[in-house]
A and B are shown apart, each in its own frame.
Chain A
Amino acid sequence: MLTKLKHLLLKIIDLTALGFLEPIVRLCYGEEPGTQVKKIGQFMMVPVLVFLLFIMVWSAFAPRHKTKSGEVPTPAVTFDSYRSIMTFHGREGDKERAYLATGDAREKWLAEAEARLEELKPLRAEAEAAVEEAEAAHQGALTATYDPALAEYNEARQAAMEESKQRIAKLKVRAEGIAADDSAAKGELLAVYRAHTAQTANAKSDYQKLKQQADAILKAKFPQLAAARARLTRIAEEEQYLKQLVKMLSGGNREARVADGQTKLDALRAQYAGAEGAALFPLAKSINSAESRLARTAESAYAKPWTLPMQIIRSVYCVFVGFFMGSVIAIPIGVLCGLSRTFMAAMTPFIALFKPVSPIVWLPIFLIVIGGFFPDPDKHWFFTTLWNAPLIGWLKINPAFLASAATVAMCSLWATMVNTALGVASVDKDHINVARVLRLGFWPRLFKIVLPSALPLVFAGLRISLGVGWMVLIAAELLASSEGLGKFVWDQFNNGASDSFAKMVVVVFVVGIIGLLLDRIMIVFQRAVSFEGSVATV
C-alpha cells in the first residue's frame, strides 16, 4: 500500500517536473538517507539560500540608487506596496458588498463603520498636529542650513561677477592704450582676454558647486516629515473609505434606494387612484417612469474600479483567449506543413516574414481592424451577450481586449506552427509503412498515427507559445490600455506617486509567478502526452 503511494507520488513529481521534491519522498521512505539529504541540500537549500542572498543584496543596494522618482524600493517597501494594493482591492470589494448589503447585516455593518469613523477623529487630529510639527521642524532645519548655504552661494557669485567686471574694466583701459600697428600688444591683449574668459568660467563652476550644495540640502529627505505625512495619509484614506462605506450602507444602499423608490411609487399610485379626468395623464406618465426607475435601481450595481487581482484574472483570461486563437490557426497549418513539402514551401515566406514582427506593430493594426467590425461596441450583440454571460461578464470584454488577444495570438503562434510541422514531418517511417500496409485512409492515418506521434513536439511548441504570449500580452495591454497587468503598470508609471515605483516592482513578481505557473501547467500536459523518455524537458 505504502509502496504504491510512493510510486504514485514519484510519478506525480515526475509528471509535473518538480524533481526537487523527489528526495523528500524518498527520505520519508528511508531510502539512502545520506544521498537524499545531500540532494535536498543541493536542490532545495541552495536555491533558497541564493534567493535570500538576492533579497539581502537588493535591500542593501536599492536605497543607494537615488532617482528623481524616489529611491529604488527595497523588499520591505515593495511588500508594503503590495499590501496597499490589496487594501485598495479589499476596500473596493467592501464598497460593492456594502451597496448590496441588506437587512440586519447592513445595520450592523453601518454601526461598525460609524464607530470606527468616530475612533479615527482624534487620531486624525493627532496626525495633523504631528505633520504641522514636522513641517515646522523641517522649516527650522532648512533655515539653519539652507539659508546660509544660499547666502554663501550668492556671495560667491556676486564676488565672481565683481571680479569679472573689474578685469573687463582693466582690459578696456589696456585696449585704449594700444596703437594700430602694435601687433605684439594686440596679441597680448587677446591672450589676456582669453585668460579672463577661462577665469570667469572657472569661477562660475566654483559658485555653481555651492548652488548644487544648497539645492542638495533642499532636496534632502526629511524622514520625520515623510513619516508624519504617510501616517496622516493612511488615516485620511481610511476615513475617506469609511465615509463612502457609511454612504453605501445608509442612503446610497441599493435596498434603501429601492425602498425609497417604492414609497414614492406607492404615493403616486395612491394619488392616481384618487385622481380623475385630465390629471390622470401626467400621473400615469410619472407612475410609468417611476416603475422603470425602480426596476433599474433594483438591478443596479456598484461601479467598481479595476483592482490588481481583477486585472490579473483578466490578463490570464486574455492570454488564454489569444493562445487558443493562435493554436487553432497554428496546429492545422503546422500539420499540413508537416504532411506536404509543397505546402511547407508555400507557407515559408509568410512564416519568415511575419514571425519577427514585434507586438508593438501588431497591436495598433489589430485595434484598427477589430474596431472596424464593431462600429458601436456598446450595442453590438457580440459584446452585450458576453457582458451578460455568467462568470466572464464582469471581465467586460471589449475591442481592446480582443486586439490584445489577437496580438498575443499573432506573436505566439509561430512556435506551435513550426514545432507541429517538425513533429508531423518526423513521424517514424515504420509507423507510416504500417499505415500503408493496413491501407488506412487519410483521416485515420492522421488521427491514429501522425498526430499521436507528433503530440510531444506539438505540446513543446504550445509551451513556448504560451510563454511568448504572456510576455507579449503585458506590452499589448499597456499599449491598448486594456484593463490588465500592463495597464496597471502604465497607470502606476503615470501616477508618479511616491509608492508607484514600488507597485511596479510588485508587478514584476506577479508577472513572474504567473508565468511560472503557466509554464508548469504546460509541462504537465507535455509530459502527459510524451512516451517514456521521448522528449527531455526541464
Chain B
Amino acid sequence: MMFHRRPRFRIPHKLLTAALVGLVGATLGQDASAIGPENVPAIEGGETAPLDVEKSELKFGFIKLTDCAPIVIAKEKGFFDDEGLSVEVIAQPNWKTLLDNVISGELDGAHMLSGQPIAATIGFGTKAHIITAFTMDLNGNGITVSNAIWEKMQENDSELLSPQPKHPIPADALRPIVEDAIASGEKLQMGMVFPVSTHNYEIRYWLAASGIHPGMYTATDIGGRTDAQVELSVTPPPMMPATLEAGNIQGYCVGEPWNQQAVAKGIGVPVTTNYDIWKNNPEKVFGVTASWADENPQAMLAVTKALIKAGRWLDQTDEDGNLVNREEAARILSRPDYVGADYDVIKNSMTGYFYFQKTDKRSMPDFNVFYKYYCTYPWYSDGIWFLTQMRRWGQITEPKPAEWYHQTARKVYKPEIYLGAARMLVEEGFIKESEVPWDTDGYKPATSDFIDGKTYDGKTPLAYLAQFEIGNTE
C-alpha cells in the first residue's frame, strides 16, 4: 500500500534510504518535523517556458488571513503573469461560501482549510471531489481567550502572572473554570472557523490534552456538542475579535492576524499557538475541484508553478537566515482588497514575531512557514492526520480500516502534479533540486511534536487513534 503509485521521478534505492533515514530519525526521537531545507537563499531565475493553459482568466477565492499570502504574492509579484495567467483574487465571507463557490464553478480555485478538500471528498458537509496539489503553509494559528478568562486562569496558576509566562501553556488552568461554569449550569463557549478546519481540531486537541471534553459529532448532532464540557461554534475568522468582544464566546482558535488583532485592541490574550500544539503542522491548501483539474491540466500545472514560486519568495532568506521579503509581503497584504488589517498588526507574525500580551513579544521565526521544510509538498500523511481527527471527534461516524485512510488521502492529495510543476521550475532555474522531496513515498517521518507528546505516524493511523483518552479510539 505504501508504494501505491510511483511518481515519475522516483529512484528506488533512494527511496529505501529515505525510508531508513526516516525510521532511524523516528527511533532516535530526532526532530522529525524539520525535514527539508531550513534556509532559502535568493536564486537567479531563468525564463519561464510557457504552458498551453486551457483557461487563462482565473478567479481565486481567499479568506482574509495572512496565510492567503502565496496566492496574493503570486498575483502581485507577477508569478501568475509569467505563466500567462490573468488572475482575479476575491475575498470570500466565510469558508462555507468559499467552498460552495468553488464547487459551483464561480471560483476556479481557492485558499482552503486542509480539512475542506478531504471532508468534501468523503462527503462530510457538502459532497464534491476536491483535490489539492499544493500546501500553502505550516502553523499560523493561535488560541485566544478573553481577558476575563485569562485573569481567572492566572488565579488558578500563578505562574501565568509573570509578564512572560512559560510556554506552551496547556489548558490545565482552564479546567477549573470549565468545571465551575458547568457547576453553575453554563458551558464555556469557544469559537473556531469551520467544522473541518485545522482550528477545530487544534482547539479540541488543546482542550482534550488537559482532559476537557470538547464534544463529539454524531449522526444527529452535526454541531459536535454531544458530551461537550466546552461548546465550540463556527464564526468566520474576521468576525472572531468582534464576537469575543460582544461576549458571545470566551475564546477562539483562528489564524492570523486575528489573534494579534485581539492583542492590539486589548480584548483578549493569545495563550498558545498551534506551533506549540503540533510543531510544523499543515495549515492551508490550494484546492480545486477534480473536474476542473481534469479539464485544465496545463492551467493546474501553471498555477502550481506560480504558487511554488510565491512560497519560495515568501520564505527567501539572506545569509544570516533572516526572512527578507516578509515586510513587503505584509505591506501588500494590508491593502484593503486583500487582508486589509493594519500593516503593524499583520507585520508581527509575518516577520517572525508574536505578541502574546502587549508586554510579551516573542520571536517566532517559524510562525508562518511558506516554503522551507518541504512545506508546499502535498503530503499524504497530512491528509491522514486530518482523517484521524475527523474520526476521533465522530465526524466520520463508523470505524474505518487503515487502508481506507491511505486511499482517501490519495484521492485528495496529488503530489504528481506538484512534482511535475517542481520539475519544470528546477529546469527553469527558479528553485533548487534539493528543495523538493523527489523520492518520498508521501509520508512524513513519525513525529511526537505534539502538546500531549503522542506519536503520529501517517502509515499507522489506527495506532495513533488508539492512544487517545478522549474521543473515538478506533
Alpha-carbon distance A429/B87, docked complex (angstroms): 64
Nearest CB in chain B to that of A400: its residue: B106
CB distance from A59 to the nearest CB of B (A): 24
- Residues of chain B within 8 A (CB-CB) of A398 are 106
Q: Tell me, yes or no, whether A262 is within 8 Å of chain B by CB.
A: no
A378-B78 CB under 8 A given contacts A292-B52, A490-B93: no
Residue ID in chain A nearest B257 by CB atoms? A496
CB <8 Å contact, A300 and B86: yes
Residues 286 to 310 of chain A near chain B (Cβ within 8 Å)? 289, 292-293, 296-297, 300-303, 305-306
Q: Which of these, B105, B267, B341, contacts A378 with CB under 8 Å?
A: B105
Q: Specify the chain B residue showing the minimal Cβ separation from A91.
A: B335
B105 close to A218 (CB less than 8 A): no
Q: Decide if B290 is an interface residue (CB 8 Å cutoff).
A: no
Q: Of A233, A296, A378, A399, which one neighbours B56 at CB under 8 angstroms?
A: A296
Q: Which residues of A contact B342 (CB under 8 A)?
A: 497-498
Contact call A494/B238, Cβ cutoff below 8 A: yes
**Contacts A68-B265, A289-B52, A481-B93; is A379 near B105 (CB within 8 Å)?**
yes
Q: Are B336 and A492 in contact (CB under 8 A)?
A: yes
Q: Is the CB of A376 within 8 A of B105?
A: yes
**In the complex, chain B residues 43-64 whose Cβ is within 8 Å of any chain A Cβ:** 50, 52, 56-57, 64
For B31, the chain A residues whose CB sits under 8 A away are none
Stretch from A100-108, A185-193, A236-244, A340-348 contacting the other chain: A236-244
Find out whether the CB atom of B341 lies under 8 angstroms from the CB atom of A496: yes
Q: Which residues on the B side are within 8 Å of A150 (C-beta)? A: 163
Encode contact with B along A469-511: 1 for CB under 8 Å, 0 otherwise: 0000000000001000000001111111110100100000000
Which residues on A sit within 8 Å (CB–CB) of B363?
none
**A289 and B342 alpha carbons, distance in the complex (Å):** 44
Provided the pairs A68-B266, A237-B331 are in contact, do residues A297 and B84 lie with their beta carbons within 8 angstroms?
Answer: yes
B241 in complex: contacting residue of A293, A378, A496, CB < 8 Å: A496
- Encoded as 1 (CB less than 8 Å from any A CB) or 0, chain B from 83 to 122 comes to 0101111011100010000001110000000000000000
In the complex, what's the smallest C-beta–C-beta distance from A488 to chain B, in angstroms?
9
Evaluate whether A377 and B104 lie within 8 angstroms (CB atoms) in the complex, with A218-B359, A495-B238, A495-B341 already known.
Answer: yes
CB-CB under 8 A from B163, the residues of chain A are 150
The reply on A375 being an interface residue by CB < 8 A is yes
Q: How far is the CA of A240 from the CA of B336 in the complex (A)?
A: 14
Q: Is A324 an interface residue (CB 8 A)?
A: no
Closest A residue, CB atoms, query B56: A296
Place the interface of chain A in its size category. Answer: 35 or more
Interface assignment of A75: CB less than 8 Å from any CB of chain B: no
A228 CB to closest chain B CB (Å) equals 11
A111 to chain B, nearest CB (A): 21
B332 CB contacts on chain A under 8 angstroms: 240
B344 interface residue per 8 A CB criterion: yes
Assuming the A-B contacts A233-B343, A300-B56, A371-B104, are A497 and B336 also in contact, with contact meaning beta carbons closer than 8 angstroms in the complex? yes
Q: Tell me the complex Cα distance, A296–B51, Å.
A: 13
Shortest Cβ distance from residue A399 to the other chain B in the assembled complex, whole angstroms: 7
B245 interface residue (CB < 8 Å to A): yes
Q: Assess the B86–A252 pair: CB atoms within 8 A.
A: no
Instruction: Verify B331–A236 contact, CB threshold 8 A.
Output: yes
Are the C-beta atoms of B93 and A215 separated by less than 8 Å?
Answer: no
Instruction: Give the contacts of B333-352 with A (CB-CB under 8 A).
Output: 334-337, 339-344
Shortest Cβ distance from B336 into A: residue: A495
Distance, CA A229 to CA B342, complexed state (A): 10
| Distance in Å: Cβ of A136 to nearest Cβ of chain B | 15
Residues of A near B52 (CB, < 8 A) are 289, 292-293
Q: Which of A88, A218, A305 has the most CB of B within 10 A?
A: A305
> How far is it, in angstroms, between the C-alpha of A69 and the C-alpha of B241 when the chains are bound?
10
Q: In the complex, what residues of A have CB within 8 A of residue B186's CB?
A: none
Contacts of B452 in A (CB 8 A): none
CB contacts under 8 Å to A, within B200-255, are 236, 238-239, 241-242, 245
**Given A218-B358, A301-B86, A293:B64 Cβ within 8 A:** no
In the complex, A196 has a CB within 8 A of chain B: no
Contact of A439 with B by CB under 8 A: no
- A interface footprint on B298-341 (CB within 8 Å = 1, 0 otherwise): 00000000000000000000000000000010011011110111
Q: How far is the CB of B76 from chain A (nearest CB, A)?
A: 7
B261 within 8 A of A: yes
Q: Is the Cβ of A247 less than 8 Å from the Cβ of B97?
A: no
Q: In the complex, which residue of chain B has the Cβ closest to the Cβ of A131? A: B344
| Chain A CB within 8 A of B403 CB | no
A68 touches B341 (CB 8 A): no
Minimum Cβ distance to chain B for residue A221 (Å):
12
B81 within 8 A of A: yes
User: Among the listed A237, A252, A292, A399, which residue makes an inter-chain contact with B78, where contact means beta carbons less than 8 Å apart?
Assistant: A252
Q: Which residues of B contact A498 (CB under 8 A)?
A: 342
A375 / chain B contacts, CB cutoff of 8 Å: 104-105
What residue of chain A has the Cβ atom nearest to residue B236's Cβ?
A494
Who on chain B is nearest to A233 by CB?
Answer: B343
- CB of A381, distance to nearest CB on chain B (Å): 14
**A494 and B84 form a contact (CB under 8 A):** no
Shortest Cβ distance from residue B402 to the other chain A in the assembled complex, whole angstroms: 37
A297 to B105, CA, bound (A): 24
Q: Which of A219-273 contact B (CB under 8 A)?
A: 219, 229, 233, 236-237, 240, 244, 247, 252
Q: Which residues of A contact B92 (CB under 8 A)?
A: 481
Pairwise interchain contact A494-B56, C-beta atoms closer than 8 A: no
Please indicate the chain B residues that have their CB under 8 angstroms from the CB of A378 in the complex. 105-106
Q: In angstroms, how far is the closest chain A Cβ from the Cβ of B67?
A: 16
> Could you tell me the distance between the alpha carbons of A219 and B359 in the complex, rounded to whole angstroms?
11
Which residues of the other chain, B, contact A252 by a CB distance below 8 angstroms?
78, 81
Whole-angstrom CA separation of A495 from B237 in the bound complex = 11
Interface residues of B in 240-298 (CB under 8 A from A): 241-242, 245, 261, 265-267
- Tell me which residues across on chain A come within 8 A of B86, comparing CB atoms: 300-303
Residues of A within 8 A of B334 (CB): 497
Q: What residues of chain A lie closer than 8 Å to B50, measured between beta carbons?
A: 289, 293
Instruction: Compute how far the CA of A252 lies from the CA of B239 in the bound complex, rounded to whole angstroms.
Output: 37
Q: Does B239 lie within 8 Å of A494, measured CB to CB?
A: yes
Instruction: Please indicate the chain A residues that have their CB under 8 angstroms from the CB of B335 in the complex.
Output: 88, 237
Residues of A within 8 A of B76 (CB): 244
Chain B residues with Cβ below 8 Å from A379 are 105
Shortest distance between the CB of A375 and any CB in chain B (Å): 7
Instruction: List residues of chain A with CB within 8 A of the CB of B57.
Output: 300, 303
Determine the residue in chain A with the shortest Cβ distance to B332.
A240
Q: Inside 8 A of A237's CB, which chain B residues have their CB?
A: 331, 335
- The CA-CA distance from A289 to B53 in the complex, in Å, is 9
B93 to chain A: which residues have CB within 8 Å? 481, 490, 494
> Other than the known A68-B265, A219-B266, A491-B340, what 20 A-B pairs have Cβ atoms closer than 8 Å?
A218-B266, A236-B331, A240-B331, A240-B332, A252-B81, A292-B52, A293-B50, A300-B86, A306-B337, A376-B105, A378-B105, A399-B104, A400-B106, A481-B91, A494-B93, A494-B238, A494-B239, A494-B340, A495-B339, A495-B340
Sample (22) of A-B pairs whose CB atoms are under 8 Å apart: A68-B241, A68-B266, A69-B265, A219-B266, A237-B331, A237-B335, A247-B78, A252-B78, A293-B50, A301-B86, A303-B86, A303-B88, A303-B89, A398-B106, A400-B106, A481-B92, A481-B93, A491-B91, A492-B336, A496-B261, A497-B342, A500-B340
The 5 A-B pairs of least Cβ separation, nearest first, read: A495-B340, A494-B238, A305-B337, A68-B265, A303-B88
